[in-house]
Amino acid sequence: MSLQVCEIFKSLQGESTWAGRPCVFVRLTGCNLRCHWCDTPYAYEGGEILSARQVLERIDTLDCGLAHNLIEFTGGEPLLQPQAVELMNALARIGRTVLVETNGSLDISVLAPEVIAIVDMKGPSSGESDKMDIVNLERLRERDEVKFVIADRDDWTHMLGLLPRIDTSRNTVNVSPLFGGVAPAELARWMLGENLDLRLNLQQHKFIWNPDARGV
Ligand code: SF4
Q: How do residues 54-97 score in pLDDT, each as one tens digit?
A: 999 999 999 766 666 799 999 999 999 999 999 999 999 999 99
Ligand 1 centre distance from Cα of residue 212 (Å): 15
pTM of the entire predicted model = 0.93
Q: How do residues 168-211 score in pLDDT, each as one tens digit?
A: 999 999 999 998 889 999 999 999 999 899 999 997 777 777 76
Domains of the chain: 2-208 (3.20.20.70)
Ligand 1 centre distance from Cα of residue 69 (Å): 25
Question: Which residue, by CA, sits nearest to atom 3 of ligand 1?
Answer: 76
At residue 10, the pLDDT reads: 94
Query: Are the beta carbons of 151 and 37 closer than 8 angstroms?
Result: yes
Question: Which residue, by CA, sits nearest to atom 6 of ligand 1?
Answer: 35
151-172 in b/e burial notation, b at 16+ Cβ within 10 A?
A: beeebbebbeebbeebeeeebb
Distance CA 180, CA 34 (A): 18
The phi and psi torsions of 2 (rounded to 5 degrees) equal -130, 155
Q: Is the pLDDT of residue 100 over 70?
A: yes
Determine how β-strand 2-12 pairs with β-strand 48-51: antiparallel
At residue 204, the pLDDT reads: 76
At residue 63, the pLDDT reads: 78
Atom of ligand 1 nearest to the CA of 44: 3
Average pLDDT over residues 29-49: 97
Helix axes 184-194, 153-162, angle to 10 degrees: 40
Ligand 1 centre distance from Cα of residue 213 (Å): 16
Ligand 1 centre distance from Cα of residue 158 (Å): 18
Q: Using 50, 70 and 90 to split pLDDT, how confident is the model at 215?
A: low
Ligand 1 centre distance from Cα of residue 65 (Å): 30
Q: Which residues line ligand 1 (CB under 6 A)?
A: 31, 33-35, 38, 40, 43, 75-77, 103
Query: Are the beta carbons of 114 and 98 closer than 8 angstroms?
Result: yes
Q: Is the pLDDT of residue 34 over 90?
A: yes
At residue 214, the pLDDT reads: 67
Q: How do residues 115-164 score in pLDDT, each as one tens digit?
A: 999 999 999 999 999 999 999 999 999 999 999 999 999 999 999 999 99
At residue 179, the pLDDT reads: 86
